[in-house]
């Protein structure tokens, strides 16, 4: 049995929405207060009225989702502004990468949740003879109170879709926004409330890590995390103490496979898009390009001509692997770094990168691309497996059958053929990583089921 930090024992009879109110108040306190031995009765805020969310019919829940979808469309401009808080992203980019996919995710839930969450009655076929007369049914039950730890790069779309799925599955939700993500998270929760969601079912915590830490210690039924590998390790270490289940989508170092028969015009357009999207701060942005040796020179020439540079200031600690690669023999195709390592001309594209270099094995959250020459598909696959991250991958080839066959051998949570990033926003598709990129899935039918437990 888990205990509340400096408070009473949590019992199964305590509704998740009451715990969420208590955690919300607790999460707003200063760090020294988190370790106080006693808390006054006034600090333990809880809802007196039962919201009955777990008894709320799916049809009623989906009416709220539908109204939320209509409000998302109506408030697209204000949501875009909130998602762009402290950022410098084009309005059109935010609309297409965050607002439109969010509305599509609502529609998916409206259309498919009934089928996905429906209980399944087992018939007599393959029933053991010694269970003759026994009737069995599998139902999907909510976890209870779900903590969503959001990233800072897509402050609206990522936590909002996870929140929608958690609510449709009859959970209560706490959202811990990423850096500068509070405005987007709060704007979305306000839309949910306007759509008819009871006030005590979704709360936004502060952006500080201590808010998530205190919530987990107080008692969470499941954690959904999108973040870096180091953050994932820290959260898993804390969740292990209370055996709290988790779904974690972590860093990526995504591979792009350019086969000998690839359309290089398409490859260049895709790489240019992937490097520019959100200034390169996308978990499934291209980082490693395994290109057939016969195409390396031509691809470098086309990239030089097609990609325009701009200035960007980054923490030099994130670029140590770039300087290491240059020392080890890599060359600039595009981009540069000032002597202080802070101001860059981006994107940075390096050629003659070896798969054993640190740059080919780390999660660089910046517009940095490494061209790795390979002799054939087998060598490309072998080199790609040297990286511990396995979030996404892309394959470019004119031979559809060969590309599909190769995709089955690639170690990644999602593989795209002759495209990059955009198809993964399909609300029907699950999304998740392998290896150091995490485990479990969000989005799609599989993501909705992650918000439930079978009984």
What's the CA gap between 112 and 167, in Å, rounded?
15
Q: Return the structure tokens found at 141.
A: 């039950």
Task: Find tokens 């390396």 and name the residue.
Answer: 296
With contact defined as beta carbons under 8 Å apart, do 325 and 369 qualify? no
Identify the pLDDT of residue 14: 55
Closest by Cα among 453, 443, 422 to 161: 443
Reported as a single tens digit per residue, the pLDDT across 29-65 is 544 454 333 233 223 223 333 358 888 999 999 999 9
What's the CA gap between 300 and 377, in Å, rounded?
20
Q: Angle CA(248)–CA(254)–CA(257) in degrees, nearest 5?
A: 145
Identify the pLDDT of residue 34: 42
Reported as a single tens digit per residue, the pLDDT across 130-172 is 888 899 999 999 999 999 999 999 999 999 999 999 999 999 9
Identify the pLDDT of residue 51: 53
pLDDT tens-digit profile, the chain (455 residues): 333 333 333 444 455 555 555 555 544 454 445 433 323 322 322 333 335 888 899 999 999 999 999 999 999 999 999 999 888 899 999 999 999 999 999 999 999 999 999 999 998 888 898 888 899 999 999 999 999 999 999 999 999 999 999 999 999 999 999 999 999 999 999 999 999 999 889 999 999 999 999 999 999 999 999 999 999 999 999 999 999 999 999 999 999 999 999 999 999 999 999 999 998 899 999 999 999 999 999 999 999 999 887 877 776 767 789 989 999 999 999 988 876 656 677 899 999 999 999 999 999 888 999 999 999 999 999 999 999 999 999 999 999 999 999 999 999 999 999 999 999 999 999 999 999 999 999 999 999 999 999 99
Which residues, 6 or more positions from 39, have their beta carbon under 8 angstroms from its beta carbon?
A: 6, 7, 26
Task: Find tokens 């792009």 and name the residue.
Answer: 256
Identify the pLDDT of residue 174: 96
Instruction: Tell me the longest C-alpha to C-alpha distance in the chain.
Output: 78
Decide: helix, strand or coil at residue 352.
coil
Closest by Cα among 101, 96, 93, 81 to 276: 93
Closest by Cα among 216, 202, 109 to 161: 109
Can you state the percent helix, strand and coil of the chain, rounding each to 5?
A: 45, 20, 35
Q: What is the pTM of this model?
A: 0.88
Domain ranges in the chain are 16-125+132-250+437-454, 254-427
Identify the pLDDT of residue 32: 46
Decide: helix, strand or coil at residue 328.
coil
Phi and psi torsions of 172, nearest 5°: -95, 155
Identify the pLDDT of residue 353: 96
Identify the pLDDT of residue 66: 98
Q: Looking at the domain 16-125+132-250+437-454, which fold is it?
A: Aldehyde Dehydrogenase; Chain A, domain 1 (3.40.605)
Q: Angle CA(200)–CA(86)–CA(172) in degrees, nearest 5?
A: 15
Name the CATH architecture for the domain at 254-427: 3-Layer(aba) Sandwich (3.40)
Identify the pLDDT of residue 365: 87
Decide: helix, strand or coil at residue 137.
strand
């Amino acid at each position: 049995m888990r205990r509340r930090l400096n408070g009473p024992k949590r019992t199964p009879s305590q509704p998740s929405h009451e715990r969420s109110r208590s955690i919300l108040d607790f999460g707003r306190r200063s760090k020294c207060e988190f370790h106080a031995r006693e808390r006054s009765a006034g600090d333990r805020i809880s809802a007196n009225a039962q919201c009955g969310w777990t008894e709320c019919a799916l049809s009623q829940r989906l009416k709220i989702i539908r109204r939320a979808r209509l409000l998302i469309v109506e408030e697209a401009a204000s949501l875009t502004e909130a998602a762009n808080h402290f950022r410098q992203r084009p309005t059109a980019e935010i609309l297409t990468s965050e607002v439109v996919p969010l509305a599509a995710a609502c529609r998916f839930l409206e259309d498919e949740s009934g089928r996905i969450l429906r209980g399944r009655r087992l018939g007599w076929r393959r029933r053991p003879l010694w269970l003759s007369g026994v009737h069995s049914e599998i139902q999907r039950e909510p976890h209870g109170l779900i903590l969503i730890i959001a990233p800072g790069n897509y402050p609206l779309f990522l936590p909002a879709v996870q929140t929608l799925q958690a609510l449709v599955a009859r959970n209560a939700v706490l959202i811990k926004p990423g850096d500068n993500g509070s405005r987007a998270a709060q704007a979305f929760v306000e839309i949910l409330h306007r759509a008819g969601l009871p006030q005590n079912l979704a709360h936004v915590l502060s952006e500080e890590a201590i808010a998530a830490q205190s919530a987990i210690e107080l008692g969470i039924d499941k954690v959904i995390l999108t973040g870096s590998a180091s953050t994932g390790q820290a959260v898993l270490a804390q969740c292990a103490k209370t055996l709290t289940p988790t779904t974690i989508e972590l860093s990526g170092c995504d591979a792009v496979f350019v086969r000998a028969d690839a359309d290089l015009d398409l490859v260049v357009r895709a790489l240019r898009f992937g490097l520019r999207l959100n200034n390169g701060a996308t978990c499934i942005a291209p980082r490693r390009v395994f290109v057939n040796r016969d195409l390396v020179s031509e691809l470098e020439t086309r990239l030089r001509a097609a990609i325009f540079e701009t200035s960007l200031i980054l923490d030099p600690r994130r670029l140590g692997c770039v300087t290491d690669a240059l020392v080890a023999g890599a060359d600039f195709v595009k981009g540069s770094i000032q002597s202080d390592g802070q101001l860059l001309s981006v994107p940075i594209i390096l050629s003659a990168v070896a798969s054993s270099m640190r740059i080919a094995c780390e999660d660089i959250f910046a517009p940095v691309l490494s061209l790795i020459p390979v002799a054939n598909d087998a060598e490309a696959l072998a080199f790609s497996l040297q990286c511990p991250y396995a979030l996404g991958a892309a394959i470019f080839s004119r031979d559809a059958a060969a590309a599909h066959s190769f995709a089955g051998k690639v170690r990644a949570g999602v593989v795209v053929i002759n495209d990059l990033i955009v198809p993964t926003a399909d609300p029907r598709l699950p999304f998740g990583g392998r290896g150091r990129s995490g485990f479990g899935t969000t989005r799609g039918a599989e993501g909705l089921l992650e918000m439930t437990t079978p009984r």
